[in-house]
Amino acid sequence: MKYVNKYFAALFLCAGALFAEDNQLPGSESLWLYGHPRFITSANSAAGGPLFSAGSYSLIMNPALPADLQCPALDLGYAGILNAFVEDDVTHAVALRLGGSVPTRLGVFSLGFNGVMGEEALRIGNAFAGRLGWARDVTRHFYLGLSVTGGALTYKEDFRDFYFAADVGAWLRFEQVAFFRQLRFGVALQNLGKTYSNFGPKPPEGIDEIKIRMYPGIITPKIGVAAHLVEANNFALGISMDIAFPAFTNFAFNAGLQALVAEFLYISAGWDLNAQELVSDFNPDKSIHLPYIGIGVKFAVNTSGSQLFKKRGFDQTDITVDGVWQMREKDVHLYSIGAAASFGVRDTIPPEIKIGNIKND
């Protein structure tokens, strides 16, 4: 029994060492997940989310996810973060997102831009970055991807930092395993390079009480699984679960549930947990992140009458408008709205091949 007690004591000592020096600010680990609701409703999933969706925004979750795209896509979004930590003092952060993807014979190329203006509400500065990605299929069910990100950060006009890192990823899909349909496994290795760091040995004047670790976590392994639980004519239900290990010194968990009703209405819910934020910032007056709630509406626009679209084969454009809300912690609310468009219709019908008789004259 004493050996068991020693084992648990050593385990708690290791856990204390893991989190003791961390005082990073809430939200800094999720910096790039602000800006578009798809980041949240897809549960930050390396496997594409409960009901698979992909676009340039997917590079942030797993750079291999856009490999399955067959049509050009465009996405844009906005997010707001309200922080009311101080009595009678409400601060507001803003995040913006713009990106697009283009399928080619060499693979799917994606480009996206993110901006987070969060000096007051998030206290992590104003961060901007551009991300370029490439992905393609290796086999019918196996996909690979790579992305490179560069960016800059400012804080109170006294501090500057830069971001330059690469992500690599892969995912695998099975049509059906037991009662699971569209079973997907995803893996990604993120932030291979230089991410944003703390304020260094001489922090700017007036913010010496704030010290942030490197964020998002440098060298972050991530694993995800997702599947459709129900597939019917007018209803589909999917689930996803992901774990990540930012900088190998933290543990993050994401779970998502999403339903598609009548082929046009998405209803999403999920939950995320960051172990460092839970341990470092927990006190009786704060709460763990509440589950998020998201709504999306998908509609088709007939563009066959436009010569600009018709000559490129875009007879139909599918547009999905999403919105999401979550209480990140006590008095910190995240809300986001955005749209994603797919120009053209995915080809789901294989070509018909007929064998005729050859006549010899």
Segment 259-263 mean pLDDT: 94
Neighbouring-strand partners of residue 189 = 168, 221
Cis peptide before 284 (omega within 30 of 0): no
User: Domain of 178?
Assistant: 2-343
Is residue 47 in a domain? yes
List all residues 6 or more positions away from 338 whose beta carbon is below 8 Å from its beta carbon.
Answer: 35, 36, 37, 38, 75, 76, 77, 78, 97, 321, 322, 323
Instruction: Using a pLDDT cut of 90, give the percent of the chain over it.
Output: 48
Is residue 350 in a domain? no
pLDDT value at residue 316: 80
Is residue 355 in a domain? no
pLDDT value at 213 more than 90: no
pLDDT value at 12 more than 90: no
Q: Is 148 exposed, middle or buried (0-12, 13-18, 19+ CB in 10 A)?
A: middle
Is residue 165 in a domain? yes
CB 36 within 8 A of CB 140: no
Tens digit of each residue's pLDDT (9 = 90 or more) over 267-297? 999 998 888 777 765 444 455 667 899 999 9
pLDDT value at 16 more than 70: no
pLDDT value at 317 more than 50: yes
Is residue 207 in a domain? yes
CATH label of the domain that carries residue 117: 2.40.160
Segment 12-28 mean pLDDT: 41
Is residue 129 in a domain? yes
pTM metric for this prediction: 0.81
Segment 149-167 mean pLDDT: 87
Is residue 271 in a domain? yes
User: Strand runs (DSSP E) across the chain, as ranges?
Assistant: 73-86, 89-104, 107-117, 126-137, 142-155, 159-177, 180-194, 220-231, 235-244, 252-261, 265-274, 292-302, 316-329, 332-343
Is residue 352 in a domain? no
Binning pLDDT at 50, 70 and 90, where does residue 165 land? Answer: very high
How many independent structural domains does the chain possess?
Answer: 1
